[in-house]
Amino acid sequence: MNMRDFQCLGLIRLGLGMGLAILCAVRAAVAAELITGTDEEAQLPFWEVRTEAMTLRLVQRLPDQTRGFFLARGFTALQADAIANSCLFQTVFHNISTQGQEGVLRYDLRDWHVNFQGDSRSVKTREHWRDAWSGEKVSPAARLALEWALYPTQQSYQAGDYNWGMTTFDMSPGSLFQLDVSWHQQGKRHTFTIDRIECAPDETREPKDSQ
């Protein structure tokens, strides 16, 4: 990929019969492209930031999926509903740099910002959820299930490493927002703004026929 400072790419990719609009932007002298489309496994929209050395994919989760997941782990219906309606995305960070490069990837979700209707707010991390349940009756097992399901607040990845988990943006179902993400790699702090991310609507969908 050409690394010129203000290069922008325009590409079209196909996935599941759907045209994918791709927008390229540059932050901290790194060419980054934003790919949107439908995740093949989840069958839900995704937003993916890609550079030569990393990928970050956010995939919608339907509130119904999340509701069922946490009901099965000991939360009450009211508590599971509160989590489900907080705009969760499956998040996957992947360090795709090669061995021998200065490619260690570090991130901290506390450096990310959600922009909505002129207001800027933080991502809701494991620590925020821990505080939210401090005055409620939630079993230790349920608390642990939520903590381990959520994406780690901060982490470092060596070349080839990746991880996934749920990220909470604390928005109502169907909301459109802008997300500023950042990470450190190759000796620099990189930033990227993802426009018009959409929280999944609160609707019931029939499971995909596996036959």
Split at pLDDT 50, 70, 90, the class of 156 is very high
Q: Tell whether 209 is covered by a domain.
A: no
pLDDT at position 207, please?
A: 59
The predicted-structure confidence for 60-80, as pLDDT tens digits, reads as follows 999 999 999 999 999 999 999
From the list 79, 56, 66, the residue with the least C-alpha distance to 180 is: 56
Q: Tell whether 104 is covered by a domain.
A: yes
Instruction: Say which residue, 150 or 102, is predicted with more confidence.
Output: 150
Q: Tell whether 205 is covered by a domain.
A: no
Count how many domains the chain has: 1
What residues contact 200, with CB distance under 8 A and at least 6 apart? 44, 60, 61, 62, 63, 87, 173, 174
pLDDT at position 139, please?
A: 86
pLDDT at position 140, please?
A: 87
Domain extent for 49:
10-198
pLDDT for residue 104 is more than 60: yes
Tell me the pLDDT of the chain averaged across its residues.
84
Query: Could you tell me the pTM of the whole model?
Result: 0.82
The predicted-structure confidence for 186-205, as pLDDT tens digits, reads as follows 889 999 999 999 999 998 87
Q: Are 105 and 93 in contact (CB under 8 A)?
A: yes
pLDDT at position 109, please?
A: 97
pLDDT at position 59, please?
A: 98
Q: Tell whether 74 is covered by a domain.
A: yes
Question: Cα(65)–Cα(88) distance, rounded to whole angstroms?
Answer: 10
Q: Tell whether 149 is covered by a domain.
A: yes
Segment 31-46 shows an average pLDDT of: 95
